Amino acid sequence: MPAEMEFFVDPHRCIGCHACEHACAECETHKGNSMIHIEYVERSTSVQTVPVVCMHCHSPTCADVCPADAIKRSADGRVMTARKPRCIGCSNCVLACPFGVPKMMTELELMMKCDMCFDRTSTGRKPMCATVCPSEALFFGTREEVEQRRKRSRPTNEFRFGDQTVTTKVNMMVPRGRTESHLDVTAALHEKPTGGLISLNVLTAAPVPVGGAS
């Protein structure tokens, strides 16, 4: 039996080039809007960025909180964009998603989110973002490929938000040496980024005008 293709997100490899956003926006199925965005971890002190893409939870909170029953999950586990005839634009899903993925498109009165390029992946092609990502921070392939290419990291799909454990279809790459089975997102919120720090000069006095004006 051929291996199944999976989606892997490796934030450590993200260089913040925004190519994924532009590639996603090229797709006409969501009217030129990007369904992926780049998050800056601690912009004042770090250049680290994280691509935020729908994780396609096995128990999607966005669908559970939808009062209009508009968010559906396909048989293969993809959580789809809200159904236009049903979505009432209440933004419950936007507020409830633990990963901060859904976008409320006010001009369309519709919640839109990543569906892992259903039109492409259903025919055996890679998602647009994974196709253009130059550093393979977004990778779409088999688990064997990831094991072979990422010797120092391993995929996990279990996330902890306080007392809530969320398992997802999309995998997140974590250091291979760590023994925890899950990624504690809530605890990570309070961690300061390490490595890749930059120092910013903070002005303590008013700058001198250029040109020597009095």
Partner 1 sequence: MNVPGSEQPREYPDGRPLPDQPTWRQDFPTDVPDDNHVARREFVKFLVLTSGAFVAGQCWIAAASALREKGPLPRLRLATVAELETKRVVEFRYPDEHEPCLALCLAPNDRVPIIKLNAVAHVSNPVSDRFGFIDRSIEWHPERQYIIVSVNANSLWHGPSVIQLPQQPGFPTLDAGQETFNSRLVAPTRVGLGVN
- Contact residues for partner 1 (CB under 8 A)? 1-6, 58-60, 63-64, 69, 71-78, 80, 116, 121-124, 142, 164, 167, 169
DSSP collapsed to 3 states, 151-165: CCEEEEEEEEECCEE
Residue 60 or residue 155: which is nearer to partner 1 going by CB?
A: 60
Joined tokens for residue 71: 């968010």
| Minimum separation from the CB atom of position 101 to partner 1 (A) | 16
Residue 6 or residue 39: which is nearer to partner 1 going by CB?
A: 6
| Minimum separation from the CB atom of position 146 to partner 1 (A) | 14
Cα(10)–Cα(213) distance, integer angstroms: 51
Residue that has been written with the tokens 């960025």 in this structure:
49
| Minimum separation from the CB atom of position 183 to partner 1 (A) | 17
Per the CB < 8 A criterion, the answer to whether 50 and 14 are in contact is yes
Return the SS3 of 45. Answer: coil
| Minimum separation from the CB atom of position 112 to partner 1 (A) | 17
Residue 29 or residue 164: which is nearer to partner 1 going by CB?
A: 164
Rg, C-alpha atoms of the chain: 20
| Minimum separation from the CB atom of position 56 to partner 1 (A) | 9
Per the CB < 8 A criterion, the answer to whether 161 and 186 are in contact is yes
User: Going by DSSP bridges, is the β-strand pair 6-9/164-175 parallel, antiparallel, or unpaired?
Assistant: parallel
Residue 48 or residue 121: which is nearer to partner 1 going by CB?
A: 121
Residue 64 or residue 184: which is nearer to partner 1 going by CB?
A: 64
